[in-house]
Amino acid sequence: MMSRKFWLSPESAVYLVMWLLIFLLPIAIFYLRAATFTQAVFHWDEVLHTWQWFLYVFLCFLIHNFLLAPLLLSKKKVAYMVLVALLFVFFYLLSTTIHGPRPHNDRQPECELNDNGTNTKASNTQMAPPPRFDDHRPGPLGREILINTVLLSGVLGLNIGIKFYFKSEQDRNHLQQLEKERMFLQLQYLKFQINPHFFMNTLNNIQVLIDMDAEKAKECLRELSVMMRFVLYDGDKNRVSLHKDILFLRNYVKLMRLRYNSRLTVTIDIPDNLPDYTIPPLIFPTFVENAFKHGVSYKQDSFINIAMDIEDGELLFSCINSKKPMTETSKVPSVGGVGLTNVRRRLDLIYGDRYTLDIKDKADVYNVLLRLPIQKD
């Protein structure tokens, strides 16, 4: 059964235009012939006779389009070729059965009499007159079958070409949709990895503060509740307000700052008048978390400098921090981990090659510079 979806598809529109042109072709040919040759006359009988043949071709086209072509698309080539051969046999039998055999169009031209009443065509020396175009009887049946068989072959070839084109477009769109779904699922997975990782570190900080300063621990819990609200309601979105993300970042720094003594200096240089663009959530806090984890020392002065601005149509974020001395770690300080690995993968999936992440890991300083294309909703 021919579905409504097919009739409303671009493929059906192509077939409609194709058949309109095919059925208009005889009118154009016979009209041009009549306009070119003075003895030619335009006859609708010729057009209708040609259309009758086109209807046979159209019937075979419908059979091929809905019954045979799907076999070729399904890789059933042998069955397709056998049935196409039978379709041509059907076309031949249909043509000969309906029209039947008939002689060639050999009607002799009318006699022309001279002044003496004799036939001028009887003379062998008399040149034959030019052909008459007003004889619009059908030509030989065999010739018409041959011409329309060639037309049928061309139509079926176009049918296959058009079907393969739209099938390839459909497959390409399907693959793109699958790729989008895969990227979405991968992004969701990365978010679920980042959020527990972030809160695990935050809860560890609160646990330490409970023994050190109960009031600070309470303040820390209040800040944590605000941050969790952001993660629950905005963290699962594809893009969030830049102002909201900056507020989350400030709260996070404030929360982490409570744990450390006065030997840590944290500066945040973010203009208050930044335009409210949209960005993927929870990108910047990952770098700041890494700075606190690997850059803050309890035995010597430490610093974390955070800055953000708009420059040349890009959002610039930088985080520069000192590094713990080797004596405070049992091994070389790690500056990677789950957080940075996941944020890189998220940026790759979201921006592709349209972002820049420059990380300089020096002996005593760790410098992150991130450039993102801006987008305003």
Domains parsed from the chain with CATH numbers: 4-103+138-175 (no CATH), 213-373 (3.30.565.10)
Q: How far apart are CA 294 and CA 335, in angstroms?
A: 6
Tokens read off for 358: 């420059």
Beta-carbon count within 10 A of 250 CB:
14
Average pLDDT over residues 350-355: 89
Residue 6, pLDDT > 50, answer yes
CA angle 44, 50, 55 (to 5 degrees): 120
pLDDT bucket at 107, cuts 50 / 70 / 90: very low
pLDDT tens digit sequence for 280-294: 888 898 899 889 888
Of 231, 227, 215, 228, which Cα lies nearest the Cα of 253?
227
| CA distance readout (Å), 146 to 81, 91, 347 | 20, 11, 63
Most confident of 71-75, 86-90, 250-254: 86-90
The pLDDT of residue 252 is 86
The pLDDT of residue 333 is 44
Tokens read off for 154: 């061309």
The pLDDT of residue 123 is 47
pLDDT tens digit sequence for 112-170: 545 555 555 444 444 445 444 444 455 566 777 888 889 899 999 999 999 999 999 98
pLDDT bucket at 4, cuts 50 / 70 / 90: low
Q: How far apart are CA 366 and CA 291, in angstroms?
A: 8
Give kind and range of the element (H or E) at residue 295.
Answer: helix 284-295
Q: How far apart are CA 202 and CA 17, in angstroms?
A: 66
DSSP state letter for 312: T
